[in-house]
Amino acid sequence: MVKQEKYYPNFKYICRQIIVVMLLTLLATLLSFLIKHLGFNEVNIVIVYILSVLLASRYTRGFIYGIFTSFIATLSFNFFFTEPVYTFTVYDKSYIFTFIIMLLASLFSSTLTSNLINAKERANAQEKQAQTLYGITSSLAKTRGIKDVIAVSMRCLSSLYECEVICVMTDENKKKLDTIKLLESGEDFIYGELELDQLDHFLAPYYSTPIIIQDNRVCIFCLLNDLADINQESRYLLESIYMQINIAMEREYLAKEKETAKIETIQERFKNNLLRAISHDLRTPLAVITGASEMLLHSLDKPEDINVAAEIYEDSIWLTRLVENILSLTRIQEGRLNIVTQLEAVEEIIAESIRRVHKYSPNHKISVTIPDDVIFVDMDSKLIVQVLINLLDNAVKHTGPEDEINVNVTLGSDKVWFEVSDNGTGIDENDLKRLFNIFDLADSQRTDAKRGIGFGLAICKAIVNMHGGEIYADNNNTGGATFSFFLNR
């Protein structure tokens, strides 16, 4: 399909159409003289003139020329074949009715012929457009990759409209945009660059159409500017082509995203397997180190030796807690952290948590406020103990021995609230919203681990959420911070 041209009637064109009408009328007149000479009646002459009207409608462009031929044919029949001949006067008044019928028959035949011809031309154009669209769709269906889709699209557009085609890759994160040009000859592609701030000026001479995928403009196809004035059918075809290009481009982007997600899943699984394997391997030597350092701590006499043993013991405890958090983290991310709930006494859970924290932080005082009545909550005791240990550990790391750490349990109508508060350094206001996000606080002044590994609080949130509760954090008015969570009764 070649480039569509707009139709502008001009004087020469009109003259050619009129000459066709006059020649057909002249031939019909000569043929009528021959018919009259052979002795045929006037009805045959009328049919010959009506035939000339049909031929004029076929070989001229425009409904007006068929009407013009109808009048010329009627006047010619009156002038040459009705008495008195060679005048427009009519002796027999019945011929007036003949002229009217002849004119109406000619007009009707001309109209019907023009409509049939126009319908045939529209059908042929639609069929050609459907074939063109099918060919382009088939070509795009065979593409693999964004670059291949762009190359096939540009070749199809260049071949269809016989014009230069340009594609601008609109990655606005870059200061320079990549451009691809395909000349009208359809030969090799020409690659270039374009400054981002010059894009609007560059697009001005072209009829440009953006390709938008997931609300992002990924590229712009540029054709000659005069294609903006093509007829409505050609515009529909061009819009359909761009729709097919958009579908093919979106298909490739989705395939790329799927492949990226697959790679990320494999990498995440590998990372979790590696962390789990390392953590399991560290458990045994850490237990040995912790036991040995604790024995040394109680058997040494010199203060400097005791300090060294104490540091080894504290660090081994910290590493053991870190390994437990890593294992919990991998299970959470893989969806393998299962909870087994049963009714547990809240007082026993609090006592177990404080006992384990006191084991490696004996100098910190932790006060407990709990209702006198025994409270039972449906929970996984091991996981809730881990939550409380992480919160207490977080408080210990940001308070001194002289500071206060409080554990408070309050009973609501359908919830049991747990609070761990301190009067230490508090939480930076910028960190409050992302406090429970994994690794977000690696550089924060207040984190939930001794060396800034920021996932202990994320583990707390995951465990509490799996129990159907919520966890919160806020700064105290008098200094320090409070972490609170609830469990449903």
Domain map (residue ranges) of the chain = 11-136, 143-229, 265-330, 340-488
> CA–CA separation, 219 vs 240, rounded Å?
17
Residue 446: predicted pLDDT: 43
**Residues 237-285: tens digit of each pLDDT:** 788 888 888 888 888 888 888 888 888 878 777 776 776 677 677 777 8
Handedness of CA 75, 80, 83, 84 (dihedral sign): positive
Separation of alpha carbons 444 and 433, rounded Å: 13
CA 398 to chain centroid, in Å, comes to 45
Measured between its terminal Cα atoms, the distance across the chain in Å is 75
Report pLDDT for 303: 83
pLDDT score of 409: 94
| Alpha-carbon gap, residue 7 to 418, rounded angstroms | 83
> What angle (nearest 5°) sits at the alpha carbon of residue 68, between those of residues 64 and 70?
120
Q: Tell me if domain 265-330 and domain 340-488 are identical in fold.
A: no
3-state helix, strand, coil split of the chain in percent (to 5) is 60, 15, 25
Residues 319 and 75: their CA atoms lie apart, in Å, by 113
The CATH number of the domain covering residues in 143-229: 3.30.450.280
Query: Pick from 268, 277, 370: which is nearest to 323 by CA?
Result: 277
**pLDDT on residue 257:** 84
Low-confidence residues of the chain, pLDDT below 50? 1-8, 441-453
What does R_g of the chain's alpha carbons equal in angstroms?
45
Q: Are 69 and 105 in contact (CB under 8 A)?
A: no
Q: 39: phi > 0 → left, psi -120 to 50 → alpha, else beta; which?
A: left
CATH among 3.40.50.2300, 3.30.930.10, 3.40.50.300, 3.30.565.10 for 340-488 = 3.30.565.10
Class of the domain covering 265-330: mainly alpha
Spatial separation of the C-alpha atoms in residues 309 and 293, rounded to whole Å: 5
Residue-level pLDDT at 228: 60
Considering the entire predicted model, what is its pTM? 0.46
